[in-house]
Chains A and B, each alone.
Chain A
Amino acid sequence: MKSIIRIFALVVRYFYLIKTSFPRILELMYWPTFQMILWGLISKHLINSNDTAVQIGGVLIAGVLLWDVLFRSQLGFSLSFLEEIWSRNLGQLFVSPLKPLEMVLSLMTISFIRTIIAMIPAALLAIPLYAFSLFQMGLSLMLFFSSLLITGWILGIFIIAAIIRFGISAESLAWGAIFTLAPLSAVYYPVETLPEWIRWLSLSFPQTYVFEGMRDVLFNNNFRTDYFLKSLLLNAIYALLAVVVFLISFEEARKRGGLINTGE
């Protein structure tokens, strides 16, 4: 129970940050909406120029929105942690009874809240603008959404482990690391499009199965349970690895004095 209160305390701390800043809320919603509008227009152009490409529009918009779930989930996780670094608050936090894994759980919670705030307006706006409802995917959407959310958290854990280990210089990972995965994640095209020699790498990422599964739902109205389970299994393996890496980094930081000195 005490542990839950501490997790909740930190969620409240991050929620205060969002609540008290309208520009922050606007910023959360801005990029997903902007992306959706941009890619919606591109899809519309494709639809107009080629009748056979009608479904492509939906696939592109769904790809954009679901990729943004992954990105926002990772960003929400990493940025909330960076707030502690920027405000030189890490030392205060770890002198309190807060445990490292409690911090991870609170970062996951706030990442979920931030992702919802970011994604809902974009997904709703896609309905009147492009007659595309992501919600048509129903239960499969919920399942894919949760899998991507977890993948984003895992990436976030690896990133904060790097920040704890290497200091503020690793901050840029929070913004850019995920984009190195984009070409290999089969967001807008099937895995078969990738050169054969690198497909194994793409298939070792949980998000690849989500995007492959999303295309099956949109093209064939078929939810691939095997894809979903593979993404969950990979998430479980990476989550375990991420937590181990994070705890090792945390102990390393305690040896070097990184918890008290990390800051701008």
Chain B
Amino acid sequence: MSENIIEVRNLSKKFINHQAVKNISFDLKRGEIKGILGANGAGKTTTITMLLGLLTPTSGSIKILSQDISKNRYEVLNKINFSSPYVDLPKKLTVRQNLFVYGMLYGVKNIDKKIKSIAKELGFENLLDVKVGELSSGQKTRVSLGKAIINDPEILFLDEPTASLDPDTADRIRTFFEKFCKNHNTAIILASHNMEEVTRLCDNVIMMKDGEITDQGSPNSLLKKYGKKKLEDVFLKIARDKNNI
């Protein structure tokens, strides 16, 4: 059994008028892809933001790569990365300039070579000298993913990575992630509303509702448990079940 590279224990986040995350615990193993599913406001993004250290938890602990991130956040930041269509890259810089800057921030060696190889893998070689502000949302997502893998992260946090992509591009991206995780043994935390994506990519799924984990397990085990054929039906059952939580 491979090691836990993320250990979350009794994690909670309370904002002034709202308890966004309530006492959740879970682990992530090296090379594992874990989906976080839940309706809007379920606490997915808040959880990811706390894991990234952008948000301080109200209580609980987070260990990433054996480091307590409340104390040693900077020890792990160059080994993880993040992509979300809701956080942009500077629009006035070209794709190449953006990747160069982030490459330097992450201490990447041979940055130019790395940029070329990422652009080739994600199919945006012809966009390298285009300003990010001039890209379509699908192109921006691919570039953001390029930034997310520039440091060959051990853990990748993806917040709805294919939200703005057409089915063809989304499928290519999913194939890319499958290959990338296999080749680099990278673990992924994936927040998504796309059940097809979660079923295809994730080894395990966390179901969240109103800030709590309502269930977790492999997609197949959840389908079996709830007697459904599609993960979407499991999602809907949990989201609409008033007794759940």
Residues of A at the B interface (CB closer than 8 Å) are: 2, 5-6, 8-10, 12-13, 16-17, 20-21, 83-84, 87-89, 91-99, 251, 254-257, 259-260
Q: Are A10 and B101 closer than 8 Å at their CB atoms?
A: yes
B77 in complex: contacting residue of A10, A20, A95, A251, CB < 8 Å: A95
A5-B104, A97-B107, A98-B105 are contacts. A255–B52 as well, Cβ < 8 Å? no
> Which of A10, A89, A94, A251 counts the most B-chain CB atoms under 10 A from its CB?
A89
Q: Are A5 and B107 closer than 8 Å at their CB atoms?
A: yes
A92-B87, A96-B77, A260-B87 are contacts. A17–B93 as well, Cβ < 8 Å? yes
CA distance A251 to B55 in the complex (A): 9
> B71-93 CB contact bits vs A (8 Å, 1 = yes)?
00010011011101001111111
Q: Are A99 and B107 closer than 8 Å at their CB atoms?
A: no
Q: Are A88 and B87 closer than 8 Å at their CB atoms?
A: yes
Closest B residue by C-beta to A99? B74
Q: Are A254 and B54 closer than 8 Å at their CB atoms?
A: yes
Q: Is B25 in contact with chain A by the CB < 8 A criterion?
A: no
Q: Is B100 in contact with chain A by the CB < 8 A criterion?
A: yes
A9-B105, A87-B89, A260-B49 are contacts. A251–B54 as well, Cβ < 8 Å? no
Q: Are A6 and B105 closer than 8 Å at their CB atoms?
A: yes
Closest A residue by C-beta to B100? A12
Q: Are A95 and B81 closer than 8 Å at their CB atoms?
A: yes
6 inter-chain pairs at a CB distance below 8 angstroms, sorted by A residue, are: A13-B90, A87-B91, A97-B105, A254-B54, A254-B56, A257-B15
B130 to chain A, nearest CB (A): 12
B88 to chain A, nearest CB (A): 4
Q: Are B104 and A94 closer than 8 Å at their CB atoms?
A: no
CA distance A98 to B147 in the complex (A): 15
Q: Which residues of A are found within 8 Å of B93, using beta-carbon distances?
A: 13, 16-17, 20
Q: Which residues of A are found within 8 Å of B105, using beta-carbon distances?
A: 6, 9-10, 93, 96-98
